[in-house]
Amino acid sequence: MSEYVKKLVAEVKTKNPNEPEFHQAVEEVFDSLELVLERHQEYRSAKILERMVEPERMITFRVPWQDDQGEIHINRGYRIEMNSAIGPYKGGLRFHPSVTPGILKFLAFEQVFKNSLTTLPMGGGKGGSDFDPKGKSDNEVMRFCQSFMTELFRHIGPNTDVPAGDIGVGGREIGFLFGQYKRLKNEFTGVLTGKGLNWGGSLVRPEATGYGAVYFAQEMLKTKGQEVAGKTFALSGFGNVCWGAATKIAQLGGKVVTLSGPDGFIYDKDGVTGEKIDYLLDLRASANDRIKDYADKFKCEFYAGKRPWGIKTDVVIPCATQNEIGVEDAKAIINNKVMCLTEAANMPTTLEAYKMITAAGIMFAPGKAANAGGVGTSGLEMSQNSMRYNWTAEEVDQKLHRIMKDIHDTCLSTAEKYGTPGNYVNGANIAGFLKVADAMLDQGLV
């Protein structure tokens, strides 16, 4: 790392104390930019990096709501509007008790580069709340969402900031949020993505993140003359992204053998297929957060309190949450001679673990490239809303597939151009950065 970048990272740490995930995300991106900064002094003199780590706007607000017993609860709501150089802020909302400003800043920062890679005109943002949807009734979730939107509505809009789902926010929550926005603004617009199909949603958006990650893995395998068919896959999580990935892997003839939840992981030697994939939707909707139920129902092995990375497979696709692959997991992955690791979750691998995995010669794709199919299809939903038109599932899927192939090829060509052939992390960070940085230069000091 150059002295300049080291100093910048140190400043970010001092200025944003107690935000380790944000530090991690910044360090990973800046580490990739050495050669770019050497070749382009203009980014340094215009203080592009210093500007990129400072959100354009951060909104924090009180979210009061009443449970079914009439008791009052107060949660905290956030929206981080990180960067609007190439389009309106765009990014998901996360409802999870672990949500803090640092988590949302890391996600918003990643989103800026990810959205740039999609080839679509979207800036980066992220938001959410420390609200825990676990065990809440539909009515409680609705009241929470209505209260959340009663403040958020004044900060967002179809040309300003377009939120979507993330952990804990799916179709049900987007519906409640949209209903309240429409009521407050008296406007029916594409202000959120991930909407229901009858009211402005896009076909394939629910599946898109998982599908996209598998298309990306497929391209990675192709570079070694390999294909998805006949390969085994270790997945983590059991939510929206995991479900989409499992569906596409099964379609392409691969075999998913692991899934995980906060309680442990399951090992299903026969493969997660057919009704077993559908069952993931039931599990998620139950809000019980137990993957053990899968093992009980389909009679397979369950390992309490463990992660799935010790199981030997050809491909690893983490689909749950940040930093779920640490140093010990990396050792197991290397030991298992995994062919490729494709991140479907956001930053699921720690910096140390990712360095070990790439040093061992395992192909490694970062989430900001490999999971961009979710927000990419959100971009397609925005396009359809603007046209007041709907594409067929085939049309959307075809565009998603093209976006993922473009991102894959851009990562490789950029990595090559900047002296690190085959390094998807550098390729993604540099390509994502250049588009945003150049737009910022064009737009002057803002």
Binding residues for ligand 2IT, rule: CB under 6 A, are 90-92, 111, 114, 164, 166, 193, 346, 374-375, 378
Rounded Cα distance, 164 and 391, in Å: 19
Percent helix, strand and coil across the chain, each rounded to 5? 50, 15, 35
Q: Which residues, 6 or more positions from 207, have their beta carbon under 8 angstroms from its beta carbon? A: 243, 244, 247, 248
CB of 204 to ligand 2IT, least distance (A): 12
| H-assigned helices in 153-204 | 171-185
Active site residue 90: no
90's contact among ligand NDP, ligand 2IT, none, with CB below 5 to 8 A by partner kind, is: ligand 2IT
Give the C-alpha separation, 215 to 431, whole Å: 19
Backbone angles phi, psi at 156, to 5 degrees: -120, 175
Q: Which is nearer to ligand NDP, 34 or 324 (CB)?
A: 324
Shortest separation between residue 265's beta carbon and ligand NDP, angstroms = 11
* Cβ proximity to ligand NDP, 5 vs 244, nearer residue: 244
Residues 136, 61, 82, 191, CA torsion sign: positive
**Alpha-helical segments (H) within 98-192:** 101-117, 138-152, 171-185
Q: Which residue in the shown chain puts its C-beta closest to ligand 2IT?
A: 92
Burial 21-59 (b: 16+ CB within 10 A, else e): bbbbbbbbbbbbbbebbeebeebeebebbeebbebbebb
Contact between 106 and 91 (Cβ < 8 Å): no
Closest CA to 382 of 169, 93, 110, 189: 189
Q: Which of ligand NDP, ligand 2IT, none lies near 98, with the C-beta cut-off 5 to 8 A by kind?
A: ligand NDP
CA 421-404-51 angle, 5° bins: 70
Choosing among ligand 2IT, ligand NDP, none, which partner's interface includes residue 193 (Cβ < 5 to 8 Å by kind)?
Answer: ligand 2IT
* Residue among 77, 117, 50, 47 at smallest CA distance from 441: 47
* Nearer to ligand NDP (CB atom), residue 8 or residue 382: 382
Which partner, ligand NDP, ligand 2IT, none, binds residue 167 by CB below 5 to 8 Å per kind?
A: ligand NDP
Q: How far apart, in whole angstroms, are the C-alpha atoms of residue 78 and residue 318? A: 26
We find the least distance from the C-beta atom of residue 347 to ligand NDP, in angstroms, to be 8
Contact present, 134 and 283 (Cβ < 8 Å): no
Binding site for ligand NDP (CB under 6 A): 92, 96, 98, 165-168, 209, 237-242, 261-262, 284, 289, 319-321, 344-346, 371, 374
- Closest to ligand NDP by CB, 418 vs 424, is 424
Q: Tell the smallest beta-carbon distance from residue 381 to ligand NDP (Å).
A: 11
The residue of the chain with the least Cβ separation from ligand NDP equals 239
Please choose which of ligand 2IT, ligand NDP, none residue 91 contacts, taking the beta carbon within 5 to 8 angstroms, the exact cut-off set by kind.
ligand 2IT
What separation in angstroms does the CA of 283 have from each of 39, 96, 139, 143, 341? 51, 17, 19, 23, 26
At which residue do the structure tokens 């580069």 appear?
113
Q: Which one of ligand NDP, ligand 2IT, none interacts with residue 206, CB within 5 to 8 A by kind?
A: none
Find, among 19, 310, 419, the residue nearest to 301 by Cα.
310
- Write down the least CB distance from residue 158 to ligand 2IT, Å: 13
Please tell me which residue in 105, 114, 126, 195 is annotated as part of the active site: 126
- Minimum gap (Å) between residue 342 Cβ and ligand NDP: 12
Residues 171 and 206 sit within 8 Å (Cβ to Cβ): yes
Nearest residue (CB) to ligand NDP, 146 versus 260: 260
Q: How far is the CB of 238 from ligand NDP (least distance, A)?
A: 5
Q: Any idea what DSSP says for residue 325?
A: B
State in angstroms the smallest separation of the CB of 337 from ligand 2IT. Answer: 30
Q: Which helix (H) or strand (E) holds 1?
A: none
* Residue closer to ligand NDP (CB basis): 374 or 427: 374
Residue 136 or 284: the one with the smaller Cβ distance to ligand NDP is: 284
C-beta of 164 vs 249, nearer to ligand 2IT: 164
Q: Which residue numbers are catalytic?
A: 126
